[in-house]
Amino acid sequence: MSLHWDKGEKMDHQQRQYQLARQARDARFDGQFFVAVKTTKIFCRPICPANLPKEENVEYFIDAAQALHAGYRPCLRCRPDSAPHSWAWRGSSTSFERALALIEQGALQHATLEALAERLGISDRYLRQLFQKKLGMSPKQYALYHQLMFAKQLLHSSNMSIMDIGFASGFNSTRRFNDAFQKALNLTPAKYDEPLIYRWKHTPSN
């Protein structure tokens, strides 16, 4: 689910809350939503130290995977991959919560969607419907974005080689890892592995 509004439209309560939180860089909301900037195609945590964009130039997402799916790249300064997880938005659907947990544990890296649905006691069609309704994407797309965000975190926080990070993130080949990473993030893993000060200098301001 994304939240955005155009001039002349009434802003709802949740959108107003997100706006105030990002303007104040309120740490209480870190991990509960992400701010995507339309002009730079970058998404951030609400605590990002970058210059605040105008409200009409942003939209909000409740999961980093949604922002990736919408074509935004994670900010190199605030690193959305390192935001604390918020489970509140996941609602009361036990099947959906269990599916998320299993996917994040790698359930679709070694098994089919049908096998996952069977573990959950539901049909694979219903499982796809749940993800489409709550996240606007398929379970496989969510699994891929989760792998990529985990890989990005390893690139920042470990001394592992790019090949090892790819395998640790569930990719069965370095080429597939490189291709998926570049397609989703518009940069190769090697570029993300550059020194932080270099990347800051070569990243457009938010």
SS3 for 138-171, per residue? CHHHHHHHHHHHHHHHHHHHCCCCHHHHHHHCCC
Which residue of the set 36, 68, 76, 78 is catalytic?
A: 78
Which residue of the set 35, 75, 144, 162 is catalytic?
A: 75
Whether 44 is a known active-site residue: answer yes
- Pull the structure tokens for residue 105: 């544990």
Whether 165 is a known active-site residue: answer no
Query: Do 163 and 170 touch, CB atoms closer than 8 A?
Result: no
Which residue of the set 35, 36, 47, 48 is catalytic?
A: 48
Backbone phi, then psi, for 152, in 5-degree steps? -60, -40
Whether 75 is a known active-site residue: answer yes
Which residue of the set 44, 116, 130, 144 is catalytic?
A: 44
Whether 48 is a known active-site residue: answer yes
State the residue for tokens 């303007």: 23
Question: What is the bridge-based pairing of β-strands 2-3 and 58-61?
Answer: antiparallel
Q: Which residues pair with 37 in a beta bridge?
A: 42, 58
- Residues designated as active site: 44, 48, 75, 78
